[in-house]
């Protein structure tokens, strides 16, 4: 796949899961918060964690829509 092709939702969701896993396993004292990855270790926020949570919430919203 060429680099300029958009990624699929499944690929993005897989990546988001990895981001969430990193924050869960490396921040045991404060799980699901900033401090779990190397980018946000010294900050109070993490753009990667925010992106992952937003993507998972969007996918869940689509999955649970009533028809």
pLDDT at 67: 61
Q: What is the pLDDT of residue 21?
A: 82
pLDDT of the residue at 55: 93
56 exposed, middle or buried (CB, 10 Å; 0-12, 13-18, 19+)?
middle
First to last CA, the chain: 34
Question: Phi and psi for 49 in degrees, rounded to 5?
Answer: -65, -40
Q: So what's the pLDDT on residue 47?
A: 84
Percent of the chain at pLDDT > 90 equals 16
């Amino acid at each position: 796949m060429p680099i300029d092709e958009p990624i699929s939702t499944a690929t993005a969701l897989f990546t988001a899961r990895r981001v969430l896993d990193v924050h869960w396993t490396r921040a045991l004292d404060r799980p699901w918060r900033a401090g779990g990855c190397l980018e946000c270790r010294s900050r109070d926020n993490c753009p990667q964690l925010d992106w992952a949570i937003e993507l998972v919430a969007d996918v869940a919203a689509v999955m649970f829509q009533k028809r």
